[in-house]
Amino acid sequence: MHRQISPAILYWGTPVVLITSENADGTSNIAPMSSAWWLGDRCMIGLSSGAHTSKNILRTKQCVLNLPSEDMTAHVNALARTTGSNPTNAWKASVGYRYVKDKFAHAKLTAQPSELVVPCRILECPVHLEAEVVKVNEMMDDLPERKGSILAMELKILRVHVEDDLRLGGYANRIDSEKWQPLIMCFSEFYGMGKHKLVPSRLAEIDEEAYRSPRKIGVMQVVVADEKTCNDEGKEGEQLVCASG
């Protein structure tokens, strides 16, 4: 039997992406997120317009999508609930986010120069996708009070780097899908390609209701309790898409 429900988040399961971008002072930022999908040589990512990573990407038109494997949960957990915005906005502060200037050091990750874009890559991630912005689309046009709070960015993948042992034998440009084990985010929890949670997720410590935005799902009207607080830099910040900032 199916039942009608009204979930606060709709994260049905997508790969975790660590986005590297360049700060205004030339330093690097890392933001974990999971609202991303690929088609051809393009990738669509979803971010809050008020998030630090969004501002970096809109300014430079470049980023790197670093894909962690399922054994990198400790690094991703270290980045969860951190932000590159100083001061931290009210909503993020209320759910335990804090400003971290050097996220590479904080998460014990290693910066690696990119070849075609300025933002650096993350050495520990098995897959790096250097990218540039092609188009930015504002979402939530049907909600005047939220219009533009979420951005859908079309990225063109300029260069792909993968660890050599992920390549399919006998082919120069194919991935061995049996060897690639991406880290999956499903309703704020970490999963691999199996059926069980890998480790406790710091992101899942936040009550799902904290992410609820005003929208209609089926015939149910969803209402935000404190609209002013929720709209401070976008209620979900990058967290709507599993991003920290």
Average of per-residue pLDDT across 12-34: 97
Inside any domain, residue 173: yes
Q: Which domain holds residue 218?
A: 14-241
Cα separations in angstroms, 144 against 9, 72, 151, 219, 222: 20, 39, 15, 20, 15
Inside any domain, residue 6: no
Query: What does the alpha-carbon distance between residue 115 and residue 18 come to, in Å, rounded to a whole number?
Result: 18
Inside any domain, residue 8: no
pLDDT over threshold 80, residue 226: no
Average of per-residue pLDDT across 118-139: 98
pLDDT over threshold 70, residue 237: no
Inside any domain, residue 7: no
Give Cα 65 distance to the centre of its chain: 9
Top pLDDT among 227 and 42 is at 42
Q: Where are the beta strands (DSSP E) in the chain?
A: 14-15, 17-22, 28-33, 36-39, 42-48, 62-67, 82-83, 98-99, 111-112, 121-122, 127-138, 150-162, 184-186, 189-191, 216-217, 220-221
Inside any domain, residue 1: no
pLDDT, tens digit, 9 for 90 and up, residues 76-127: 999 999 999 999 888 888 988 999 999 999 999 999 999 999 999 999 999 9
Inside any domain, residue 4: no
Total of domains in the chain: 1
Inside any domain, residue 214: yes
Residues contacting residue 90 through CB under 8 Å, at least 6 positions apart: 229, 232
Inside any domain, residue 47: yes
Q: What is the CATH number of the domain that holds 80?
A: 2.30.110.10
Q: Are 56 and 41 in contact (CB under 8 A)?
A: no
Top pLDDT among 109 and 177 is at 109
Q: Centre a 10 Å sphere on the Cβ of residue 163 and count the other Cβ atoms it contains.
A: 13
What pLDDT shows up at residue 213? 63
